Structure 1
Amino acid sequence: MSASSKRNLVKTIPGLLVSAFFLWYTFKGISFSQIRALRFTHPAWIAGVLAFTCASYTLRCVRWTRMMRSTRAGFGVCARVLMTSLAANNILPFRIGDIMRVFTYSGDLGASPSVILSTVILEKLLDIFILVLLFVVFMGPGVNPHSRVVAESLLGISTVGLLVMLLGARTLEPLLRKLFAYLPANPTLAPKLQKIEHWVLLALDCIRQIGILGSLLLLVQSAVIWVCEGMIFVSSARLIGLAVDRIGPWQGVSVANLSYLIPSSPGAIGTFEWAVKTSLVSHGALKPQSALFSLALHAWLLISVTGAGGLIFLIHRIRIHNHTPLLEEIETLPTELP
């Protein structure tokens, strides 16, 4: 094992400990007999789980293809790269999947890493905005006041970030050019400043080409994506006959996905289960059923997304005759934008 691999392994230990704590906290007091009691009470809802899962991730691929329109990358390539990166995020630490999307597949996408990075940031901003909006809309009167303040603050920050990226790119570009022109011509800093200017202007140009109408369409697509994601939660709850009110699954989808912001193991194992259980219990569901529901649903999402992305990844590697071990490829990733 190389020195960098050993360092990365040490860095993952705190995340694993966080996940272990949240798993223990979520499932403490639940007996094995309660786990065995989990049943499909309404099997027809399996179709809903499958349909909304396919719809959610197909629409994610469509959305990212639209973000990458300036590169002329087609739907097939964008879908392959996105699903591969999502699968990698689920099994590898440090959001390696997003790093691979920016660096490893820039050649396949015909785009510079800075352009891809700008779309990844925009994608995260759109998702956080919709998720926080869902949380604010569906949080009940009994929510902790501190949680309400944090949620409303996140909503404000994500709204400002979206407005700056989507509506301010055309205005920011000339201002940033002037700013970089006024910076002192230090021989040591000049090359790095030129790189930063190049990255920033490329990213703004990518966002600018999307346009206001295109930005609004991306926002609508993001809302539809998260409605589909919410329906996965609703369908799963109906599938096992979980006794919860109508708001519970929708608060669950927002809190569960925001839990990915908590440093933990890849795939947010532990934090996801805790977030879903807490949300459902606050809306009338029993603790054992809520905990088991969160585990089963998370397992489905991890297996389906990681399985689909991993299969696409392997088929592509076989087709292009790439036999380099994945971990070796990851160790050769650059540490900064070229």
Structure 2
Amino acid sequence: MSKTRGRDLLKIIPGLLISGFFLWFTFHKISFAEIRELHFASPLWIVGVVGFTFASYSLRCVRWAAMMRGARASLKTCARVLLVSQAANNILPLRIGDVMRCFTYADDLGASPSVILSTVILEKLLDIFILVLLFVAFMGPGVSAHSRVLAETMLGVSATGLLVLLLGAPRLEGPVRALFQRLPQTGLFAKAEHWLLLAIDCLRQIGVPGSLLLLVQSAVIWACEGMIYVSGAKALGFVTDSIGAWQAVSIANLSYLIPSSPGAIGTFEWAVRAAYVSHGAEPAQAAVFGIALHAWLLVSVTGVGGVVFLAHRIATHNRKPLLGEIESLPPELP
């Protein structure tokens, strides 16, 4: 176990280096005076930032509870586990928050780790589809023709894959097994087959109407997320065009796919800056806005998740050390 944890710690170092590089690349030409220029221009829009953040994460809890309806977990339990996992993802490496959702809290949710994992996979598929859709719909004029073709291809592939999963899940298991039998049965291929079959099984249990409802919920969630960016820009007097925020929310959240430190520090700021600059914003203002927005999201989500975590420990008289909460994780993370 200790050797495995040691290897996991070694995996953190490249992520920290990547985050450091992106922070340097984003801010090395920005002076401290430009950062100090950040101020509230329309404080009333802070209500929008707070309100849309609350709406976005509340709807995430409702969506995941709908995915978990086959288990005995209540909406309250699903919300607690999801918020705690989101907070853990922001401060712990290797997306351990998602792994904790599957293993540490399986008993609380009344479901097996494999069932929970299937819902996490479905959640990611829905989010990536909406984010790629936003990216294609709101590309700035500075995006090259090759990038446009690549983005549109990604959208076509993700849309086709998601629709096939949503509408044809009951008939997919056989073809998927047959496909992977032709591939090596070890390493990445074996994991990909396992994860894909879990997602198919989850969709089969939810059914087509339920799956389409999840897609609509995902669209509303990301609409609320986009409004956080719009409200933040209004509050800080950050000037951009009317659609810059919508490309920013897509690129910023897709940047979490880049290996980096917990919370996507560095990659998030770079993505926000790149998105807004492509929509005519000043690079320095875009970078400063990105770090302010990221700070809000990290502090608010991590803070709420931490409070929920501690409140549940106190209510259940849990005296287990904090680090003991992740001792139930498998030695080799999936």
| Same structural fold, with TM-score higher than 0.5 when normalized by the shorter chain | yes
Q: Which amino acid aligns with 2:80?
A: R
Secondary structure of 2:70 counterpart: helix
- 2:10 aligned residue: 10
Residues 306 and 211 (structure 1), Cα distance of their counterparts in 2 relative to 1, 3 Å cut: same
Give 1:97 deviation, angstroms. 0.5
1:59-138 alignment, distance < 5 Å? 59-138=59-138
1:64-95 Cα deviation digits (max 9, x unpaired): 01111111321100000111111111111110
Secondary structure of 1:164 counterpart: helix
Residues 324 and 135 (structure 1), Cα distance of their counterparts in 2 relative to 1, 3 Å cut: same
Could you tell me which of 263, 268, 276 is aligned with 1:267?
Answer: 263
Give 1:201 deviation, angstroms. 6.9
Q: Distance in 1 between matches of 2:69 and 2:109?
A: 10
- 2:277 aligned residue: 281
1:79-137 Cα deviation digits (max 9, x unpaired): 00111111111111110001001111111111111111111111000000000000000
Residues 197 and 135 (structure 1), Cα distance of their counterparts in 2 relative to 1, 3 Å cut: closer
Q: Distance in 1 between matches of 2:193 and 2:76?
A: 31
Give 1:5 deviation, angstroms. 3.7
- 1:292 aligned residue: 288
Secondary structure of 1:30 counterpart: coil
Contact 1:122 1:162 in 2 (8 A): no
1:269-321 Cα deviation digits (max 9, x unpaired): 00000000111111111111111100000000000000011111111122222
Secondary structure of 2:40 counterpart: coil
1:168-203 Cα deviation digits (max 9, x unpaired): 2211356679x6xxx9xxxxx9xxx9xx99998775
1:247-274 Cα deviation digits (max 9, x unpaired): 1111100000000011100000000000
Contact 1:122 1:165 in 2 (8 A): no
- 2:40 aligned residue: 40
Contact 2:269 2:294 in 1 (8 A): yes
Give 1:4 deviation, angstroms. 3.7
- 1:234 aligned residue: 230
1:157-168 alignment, distance < 5 Å? 157-168=157-168
1:137-173 Cα deviation digits (max 9, x unpaired): 0003431234323322332332233223322221135
Contact 1:114 1:337 in 2 (8 A): no
Residues 35 and 322 (structure 1), Cα distance of their counterparts in 2 relative to 1, 3 Å cut: same
Residues 199 and 44 (structure 1), Cα distance of their counterparts in 2 relative to 1, 3 Å cut: closer
Q: Distance in 1 between matches of 2:227 and 2:302?
A: 20
Residues 209 and 318 (structure 1), Cα distance of their counterparts in 2 relative to 1, 3 Å cut: same
Q: Distance in 2 between matches of 1:283 and 1:231?
A: 17
Contact 1:70 1:206 in 2 (8 A): no
Q: Distance in 2 between matches of 1:287 and 1:119?
A: 39
Q: Larger radius of gyration, structure 1 or 2?
A: 1
Q: How many residues align?
A: 325
Secondary structure of 1:130 counterpart: helix
Q: Distance in 1 between matches of 2:176 and 2:127?
A: 27
Q: Percent identity?
A: 69
Contact 1:273 1:295 in 2 (8 A): yes
Q: Distance in 1 between matches of 2:333 and 2:267?
A: 31
**TM-score (ref. length: structure 2):** 0.90
